[in-house]
Amino acid sequence: MTVQKSDLLQGTLDLLILKTVALGPVHGYGISQRIQQVSREALQVQQGSLYPALHRLEKRGWLQATWGESESGRQAKYYRLSAKGRKQLQIEESEWNRLSEAIGLVLRTAE
């Protein structure tokens, strides 16, 4: 499944990014790889959505970016979660859980 702007709510991609970055500083390529691996290839983030989202989150102050050297020895832009972003992650996580529980509840009782 490919995550695209139209497919999922904007907030979902943000949540995925925040969660991934929460594990430690990581660059854009790393984020897309990690989401792919962790979701067992179920979710593929398009670059055209990933980068605008990253920059938006950085602008909002939820992510902080620094330039550093990657494992391959190249200059890469690393993203890290800010204190504000951590709070936001908590909010969004619980929102998501609430929402998915609610949807699950509806689906189950509707049977």
Partner 1 sequence: MEWWKSLFRKRALDAQLDSELRFHIEELTEANVAAGLTPEEARRKAVLEFGGREQIKEELRDVHRVSIVESTLANLKSAFRLIRKSPSFSITVIVTLALGIGANSAVFSAIDAILLRPLPFPNGDQLMELRQYNPKTSSPRTRLAPVRLEDWNRMNSTFQAITGYYTEDNSETSGILPEKVTVAYVASRFLQVWGIAPALGRDFTSEEEHFGGPSAVLISDRLWRRRFNADPNALGRKLRVNGHSSSIVGIMPVSFLFPDRDVDLWSSVPVDEPIAQSREWTWYLGIGRLKTGVTLEQARANLATVQKQLGIAFPKTDADLNVQIEPLKEMTIGGVRRSLWILYGSVSLLLLIACTNIVALLLARAAQRQHEISVRFSLGGSRTAIVTQLLTEVFVLAVAGAALGLLVANAASKVFPALARDLPRVEEIRLDWRIVLYSLVCSVLATLVCGLFPAIRGTRRDVSSSLTQASRTQVSTRNPLQWLLVGVQVALAVTLLAGAGLLLRSFQELGRVSPGFDPRQVLTFHISGSYAETANWKGLTQRIDRIVDSLGSLPGVETAATDATLPGVPSHFQIELKFAEGQQDPERKIVAESRFVSPGYFATMRIPILSGELCREMADSTKSINVLVNRSFANTYLTESTVLGRHLQEVPASGILSPGEIRGVVGDAREEGLNREPGPTVYWCTGASGPDPFYLVRTRTEPMAMAETIRQRIHEIEPARSVFNIAPLTEHLDEAFAENRLRTVLLAFFAATAVSLACLGLYGTLSYSVNVRRREVGLRLALGALQGQIVKQFLLQGLGVSFLGCLAGSVLVAAFARVLSGMLYGVSPTDVTTLLGVVVLVLTVAAVASLFPAVRAARVEPMQVLREE
Work out which of 40, 75, 106, 107 binds partner 1, going by CB under 8 A: 75
DSSP 67: E
How near is the Cβ of 27 to partner 1 at its closest, in Å? 7
CA distance linking residue 78 with residue 65, whole number of Å: 5
CB 19 within 8 A of CB 89: yes
**Residue type for position 111:** E
Size of the site for partner 1 (CB under 8 A): 18
Work out which of 27, 35, 63, 89 binds partner 1, going by CB under 8 A: 27
Q: Which helix (H) or strand (E) holds 103?
A: helix 83-110
Tell me: does residue 39 bind partner 1 (CB under 8 A): no
- Judged by the rule CB under 8 A, the positions of this chain that interact with partner 1 are 27-29, 32, 46-48, 51-52, 55-56, 59, 70, 72, 74-77
